[in-house]
A and B are shown apart, each in its own frame.
Chain A
Amino acid sequence: MNLTSAQLYVLQRLSAAVLAPLVLVHLGLIVYAIQDGLSAAEILSRTRGSFVWAGFYSAFVIAAAIHAAIGLRSIAAENLAWRGARLDALTYGAALLLMTLGARAVAAVVL
């Protein structure tokens, strides 16, 4: 099942809208953890088993994977003149790869 160009455009816009607030919270969180000198164990004690953080970072991973994959697609089309099946393979491959890596990271902090 390949998405149309218009559907990819919609997905990129929607994923950007989702990402914008999530990135801000994520950055705030980094600053908070560093400022407070939280250790890895202390961070994990807060994230393990938390549905909130599992939900937050799952949404982050899904939105980032979609957004980055479609962005890479444009770059490959404009700068490498990729078209057709190769372009689709890059798009869906990148999305899948980022989704997998992200899912592993989320599992590592919440499970």
Chain B
Amino acid sequence: MGADGGNLSVRIWKGGAGGRLIEFEAPQRANQTVLDVVTWVQRHRDPGLAYRFACRVGMCGSCAMTVNGKPRWTCRTHVAKVAQDSRLTIEPLRNLPIVKDLACDMTVFFEKWRDARGRFEGRATRYDDIECIAPETPARQAVDAGIECINCAVCYAACDVVAWKPDYLGPAALNRVWTLQNDTRDAAQAERLAAVAGEAGCHNCHSQQGCTTHCPMSLNPTASIAGLKRAVFMAALRGEV
């Protein structure tokens, strides 16, 4: 929690890739989130500060930043939980180009989502009945385990393989693909498996679980990717990929 009173010493990244950290003082408040601090600095100290947010309640996935070295959703990260001696260092997410200050360019992240065919491709038409999916089937349970992704790119920033090999599709897109591969209504599973079996595909994952450790929705992209690896393995034995 932390009570009102006292000051936070906040270092915030300013500029693009060649930018630097600028130090600000901000008042410490009870139940304050990191996003509250960034907003306070923008309103009271630096109106030019660029950052991104929308919902402020952990649903839209737009507010992720690097806080004291770790990727986090800032609207639901309490300062009291992460500040070290009332100090905060706030930088843009890793592994994505910086637009300005704390806003990074998410284009590549979503392009990979597209390239991995992370879009539902149904076969039913509007004239068909709605398909019943039993919640207790293993396939639907696998979907449920990964479906709550908010596209925040925290996992993408946490992934060392993305840092080393920037073409790697990354945990979020692959987690999404795993949910679709388990969706019995989807009609493009063979094509989608081929899309994640290539040079940039799922087998690049080292299973270090950086994504799983930091995902704010407590998803487990590592497990989803392990499922994809098994599927690719079997498809390769059958000569399909």
- Contact check, A6 vs B241: say whether CB atoms are below 8 A apart: yes
Number of B residues contacting the other chain (C-beta, 8 Å)? 16
Q: Is A48 an interface residue (CB 8 A)?
A: no
- Contact check, A77 vs B165: say whether CB atoms are below 8 A apart: yes
Cα-based distance from A96 to B241 in the complex (angstroms): 24
- Listed stretches A7-15, A24-32, A53-61; interface member: A7-15
B-chain residues with CB within 8 Å of residue A10 when the two chains form the complex: 233, 236-237
Number of A residues contacting the other chain (C-beta, 8 Å)? 13
CB distance from B114 to the nearest CB of A (A): 19
CB distance from A48 to the nearest CB of B (A): 38
- Contact check, B165 vs A5: say whether CB atoms are below 8 A apart: no
- Partner-B contacts on A (CB < 8 A): 4-7, 9-10, 13, 74, 77-79, 81, 83
- Contact check, A5 vs B197: say whether CB atoms are below 8 A apart: yes
Beyond A4-B197, A4-B241, whether A9 also contacts B161 by CB under 8 A is: no
- Listed stretches B2-10, B14-22, B78-86, B198-206; interface member: B198-206
The 4 closest A-B pairs by CB, nearest first: A78-B164, A6-B236, A9-B203, A6-B241
A-chain residues with CB within 8 Å of residue B203 when the two chains form the complex: 5-6, 9
